[in-house]
Amino acid sequence: MKNRNPIWDFFASVKLALFTLFFLSTTSIIGTIIPQKESVQWYSERYGEATANLFRVLSFTPDMYNSVWFLCLLGLLCLNLIVCSLDRFPGVWRQIKADNLDTPLNRLEKMEPQCRWQLDNPPESTTSALKIFLKTSGWKAEERKLDNSFLLFAQKGAMTRTGVYIVHTSILVIFAGAIIGSILGFKGSIMLPETKSTDKAYTFDTHSPINLGFEIRCDRFNVELYDNGMPKSYRSQLTILENGKVVKEKAIVVNDPLSYKGITFYQSSYEPSQDFLITITNKNTGLSETAIIPYQQQRSLEKNGLRLGVVSAEAQGQSVSKIKIWLNDDKGAPSLFWLNNGEQVTVERTKNSYTVSAKQMYATGLQVAKDPGVWTVYTGCALMIFGLVIAFFMSHQRIWLYIREETDGKNSILMAGNANKNKAGFEKTFQALSQIIKKV
Amino acid sequence: MNSSQLIGITTFTYLFSTILYAVVFIFKTKRLGPVATIFTIIAFLIQTAGIGLRWLESYQMGMGRAPLTNMYESVVFFAWTIIFIYLIIEWKFKTRIIGAFAVPFALLAMAYASFASGITKEIVPLIPALQSNWLITHVVTCFIGYAAFAVAAGLGIMYLIKNTSETRQAASNDTTLLGSLPPLKVLDDITHKTMVFGFLWLSIGIITGAIWANSAWGTYWSWDPKETWSLITWFIYAITLHARYTRGWGGTRIAWLAIFGFISVIFTYYGVNFLLSGLHSYGSSN
Ligand code: HEM
């Protein structure tokens, strides 16, 4: 045995792992009971000055899960995993690569399960027949000639011994992804009124502006409702512009974001505004004009030479359903008419006829995220599931067949085997296999 | 006949199943065993039909969505999964007595779904955040895990009962009531296997939840109370696996951990909605 370093042993121990996991689970509870990411005043009002101060000193608030001590616990878990794996993996690798034909005979004689029987055929032909049989039934088989005997070894799933290490590595990969995301990425939001564009987002935590490196415009925002009034969809028609040129367009809904140059825009909220977007087309001349008109204000539309205003509206909550418009082209008395939000009507005037459409305007609330670590995290997750399936449901199974020419001319065979997991299951496999082998 | 009625019937059939399994267990009427099994299978099929019909009804109402999205539906699905996993265990390990400890969990879930106040049975359409295939994967995988942990807790209870009585009487257990329970070693083994199975599905459940959150909000993990509690639960079972595998824990300790872990599951699933605040919609939608 090599000289063990006590510090190394400490970090390699499973006891430490149990302690860390236990400590992580108990302390995690705190942040689920004390609401996180609230303001200083909020905590003082809720818990009183003294308690709020104590929470702050202990970093329970405002963001316990990113506090130094909590991150240290996670770091300890990682360190534990790394040291533990480095400590054990070489041994496991030696077992995977071991020359099992070197296994001493006295170990085979004591191994469980095992069985023995007499053979009619000479060892040489028996060995080669068994080897072919084992290979065709999916075992990796090899043989060695000893003095007056043969040792045949076959195994399955040697690599499954790495399953646990795949699981442990996957946790480190997930942490690596999270670190990449927190260093190179950002999380922010934008409140973007319809028809407007911006090249900045504002971070969640400090509300500082981030340059996107391109412009994003919200062309339209729509709320669709179910018959019972529940929201069915929030949809923003977005356009990405670079140097004034359109480079990408997409209508996003919740669960279906838009990504451009590593930055992703998620539909997250909206705000109704007091403005209306009105489009009017002269049917005779084909002249079309769009204007943003604030509630109960009159605006002139120069091209068509007319004046327009929204005099009244009906709303469901904050969402306007019907709009009443006043329109005057100074040819005859002004027109007053209702139309449904988002729909189009035709207005007949003495000289001209117009199609008019109107909708309430919104600002769309977008979450903006750049997280170059996501795919690392997902890779870690996939590795974890892969590793768990191997660790839980697969095992390394080994069998040895020792075939010997006895002095009396008879031949005997000793079959022994073992598995690193699910021993009961292996015994069944072993018995079934030995029945077949006896007949080969 | 609508889905709520079918699902309502299931509550009573599971009650009857529970009684049958209890009779088999207490009075050792082995002949009733197959009856209990067949009855449970029928109840399970009725419930399957109920859930399927509810799915169909949602299409007829013009909103077509999997019946897995509010407290009522998830509790019903939870009960369904418990029975499903129990039936597999009964078939695989050839023992019926476990039914007396596993089926009651499904009964409790169904009774809660049917009779608790403040649970809406209406089929309501999905708000935008819930319109995602990841949601369905997330709910299904989590609940397979939860149901396995429920069964493991039932097995843990069996283990503890049998263990205390054996240490008290120390002999001739075939004559006692608990003699009909599977041997402690077998119980210990099935408990462990069930927890391992649950752990795999809980892991997948947490991962699919993270993927869903990322596609909806751009954050795969935000330490919201429900997420955090699912992680706590996951840690508890990770501790259990390591304690058993590397430190040789077994028997009573593992049985207690199975029960303890399930309490954490219940809190993750239920307590968080009512005692803490968070993103998840179950409970808040009623
Ligand atoms: C949350 C984190 C962890 C998870 C999900 C995890 C998962 C697993 C799994 C699934 C197994 C296989 C158990 C079985 O086959 O029944 C295992 C085994 C093991 N784990 Fe972990 N583990 C974690 C953390 C750790 C840490 C921090 C250590 C550090 C010492 C550790 C040390 C071990 C050891 C030594 C084994 C036994 C390996 C063997 O001898 O085959 N684990 N782990």
ipTM: 0.89
Of A301, A333, A360, which one is at a domain's C-terminal end? A360
The closest CB to that of A369, out of B134, B218, B276, belongs to: B218
Specify if A306 maps to a domain: yes
B258, B240 contact by CB (below 8 A): yes
Cβ contact B223–A233 (<8 Å): no
Same domain, A204 and A268: yes
Same domain, A233 and A288: no
A115, A434 contact by CB (below 8 A): yes
Counting one residue from chain A and one from chain B, the pairs whose CB atoms sit within 8 A come to 108
Specify if A231 maps to a domain: yes
Same domain, A348 and A337: yes
Same domain, A234 and A292: no
Task: Indicate whether residue A167 lines ligand 1 (CB < 6 A).
Answer: yes
Per-residue pLDDT tens over the stretch A132-151: 999 988 899 998 888 878 89
Residue whose CB lies within 8 A of the most ligand 1 atoms, among A83, A166, A167, for a mutation test: A167
Model confidence at A64: pLDDT above 50: yes
Q: Which residues of B touch A377 (CB under 8 A)?
A: 210, 220
Same domain, A207 and A145: no
pLDDT at B177: 64
Cβ contact A253–B128 (<8 Å): yes
Same domain, A263 and A285: no
Specify if A314 maps to a domain: yes
Side by side, the strands of the sheet bearing A140-145 are A114-119, A411-419, A397-405, A149-156, A140-145
pLDDT at B281: 43
Per-residue pLDDT tens over the stretch A218-265: 999 988 888 777 888 899 999 999 998 999 999 999 989 999 999 999
Of A360, A381, A411, which one is at a domain's C-terminal end? A360
Which residues pair with residue A293 across a beta bridge? A276
Q: Which domain holds residue A56?
A: 6-89
Q: Which residues of B touch A20 (CB under 8 A)?
A: none
- The candidate with the shortest Cα–Cα distance to B213, out of A235, A367, A74, A36, is A367
Model confidence at A303: pLDDT above 50: yes
Task: Indicate whether residue B242 lines ligand 1 (CB < 6 A).
Answer: yes
Interface of A with B in 368-387 (CB under 8 A): 368-369, 371, 374, 377-378, 381, 384-385
Same domain, A16 and A54: yes
Residue of chain B minimizing CA distance to A66: B223
Helix (H) or strand (E) holding B84: helix B71-93
The tokens for B105 are 């969990």
Same domain, A305 and A266: no
Model-level pTM?
Answer: 0.88
Same domain, A267 and A282: no
Cβ contact B235–A374 (<8 Å): no
Q: Return left, alpha or beta for A153; rule: phi > 0 is left, psi -120 to 50 is alpha, else beta.
A: beta
pLDDT at A1: 47
Q: Report how far apart, in Å, the C-alpha atoms of A134 and of each of A138, A401, A434 are.
A: 7, 11, 11
Give the Å distance between the CA of A107 and the centre of ligand 1: 29
Side by side, the strands of the sheet bearing A319-328 are A298-301, A306-316, A319-328, A335-340
Q: Find how far residue A183's CA is from the centre of its chain.
A: 18
How many whole angstroms separate alpha carbon A369 and alpha carbon A25?
Answer: 29
Q: Which residues of B touch A32 (CB under 8 A)?
A: 225, 228-229, 272, 276
How many whole angstroms separate alpha carbon B156 and alpha carbon B164?
Answer: 12
Same domain, A348 and A298: yes
Specify if A382 maps to a domain: no
Specify if A377 maps to a domain: no
pLDDT at B283: 38
Give the Å distance between the CA of A216 and the centre of ligand 1: 47
Cβ contact A367–B231 (<8 Å): no
Task: Indicate whether residue A77 lines ligand 1 (CB < 6 A).
Answer: yes
Specify if A73 maps to a domain: yes
CATH number (domain holding residue A422) = 3.30.310
What would the 3-class secondary structure string for A288-320 be? EEEEEEECCCEEEECCCCEEEEEEEEEEECCEE
Of A89, A106, A121, which one is at a domain's C-terminal end? A89
- Number of domains, chain A: 4
How many whole angstroms separate alpha carbon B234 and alpha carbon B38?
Answer: 34
pLDDT at B168: 65
Per-residue pLDDT tens over the stretch A311-328: 998 887 777 889 999 999
The closest CB to that of A367, out of B218, B231, B236, belongs to: B218
How many whole angstroms separate alpha carbon B228 and alpha carbon B201?
Answer: 17
Chosen for mutation from B223, B249, B279 (greatest number of chain A CBs closer than 10 Å) is: B223
How many whole angstroms separate alpha carbon A117 and alpha carbon A413?
Answer: 6
- The candidate with the shortest Cα–Cα distance to B285, out of B123, B148, B53, is B123
Same domain, A83 and A105: no
Atom number of ligand 1 nearest to Cα A16: 30
Model confidence at A215: pLDDT above 60: yes
Atom number of ligand 1 nearest to Cα B199: 10
Give the Å distance between the CA of B212 and the centre of ligand 1: 27
Give the Å distance between the CA of B223 and the centre of ligand 1: 24
- The candidate with the shortest Cα–Cα distance to A214, out of A256, A245, A257, A190, is A245
B131, B246 contact by CB (below 8 A): no
Cβ contact A230–B231 (<8 Å): no
Specify if A383 maps to a domain: no
Same domain, A405 and A435: yes
Per-residue pLDDT tens over the stretch A353-382: 899 999 899 999 999 999 999 999 999 999
Specify if A167 maps to a domain: no
pLDDT, one tens digit for every residue, chain B (286 residues): 788 888 888 888 899 999 998 888 888 777 888 888 999 999 999 999 999 998 888 888 877 778 888 888 889 999 999 999 999 988 988 888 888 888 999 999 998 888 877 777 778 788 888 888 888 899 999 999 999 999 999 999 989 988 887 766 655 445 566 666 788 888 899 999 999 999 999 999 999 999 999 998 889 999 989 999 999 999 999 999 999 988 878 788 999 999 999 999 999 988 787 776 544 444 333 3
- The candidate with the shortest Cα–Cα distance to A161, out of A97, A81, A99, is A97
- The candidate with the shortest Cα–Cα distance to A205, out of A401, A78, A36, A388, is A36
Verify cis geometry, omega within 30 degrees of 0, for the bond prior to A334. no
Give the Å distance between the CA of B242 and the centre of ligand 1: 6
The closest CB to that of A254, out of B124, B128, B211, belongs to: B128
pLDDT at B286: 30
Residue nearest to atom 30 of ligand 1 (CA): A14
